[in-house]
Amino acid sequence: MVEVEEPQDYLDVFQSQRGGFSFENCKRNAYLAAQANIKPPTAMKSGTTICGIQLKDAVILAADTRATEGPMVADKNCEKLHYISKNVFCAGAGTAADLQHTCEMMESQMELLRMATGTEPRVCTVVRRLSSMLFKYQGYIGCALVLGGVDVTGPHLYQIYPHGSTDKLPFTTMGSGSLAAMAIMEAEYNENLSIEDGKKLVAKAIRAGIFNDLGSGGNVDVCVITKETGGAILRNYEKPNERKFKAQHAAFPKGTTPILKEEIMKLVSVEEDVVMRD
Active site residues: 48
Q: How far apart are CA 234 and CA 42, in angstroms?
A: 36
Give bridge partners of residue 171 from the DSSP assignment.
53
- Reported in sequence order, the residue ranges of 131-229 that DSSP labels E, i.e. its strands, are 143-151, 154-160, 166-168, 171-174, 220-226
**φ and ψ at residue 144, rounded to 5 degrees:** -110, 120
Q: How many CB atoms lie within 10 A of CB 172?
A: 23
Q: Tell me whether residue 277 is exposed, middle or buried, using C-beta atoms within 10 angstroms of its C-beta: 0 to 12, 13 to 18, 19 or more.
A: exposed
Q: What's the 3-state SS for 115-138?
A: HHHCCCCCHHHHHHHHHHHHHHCC
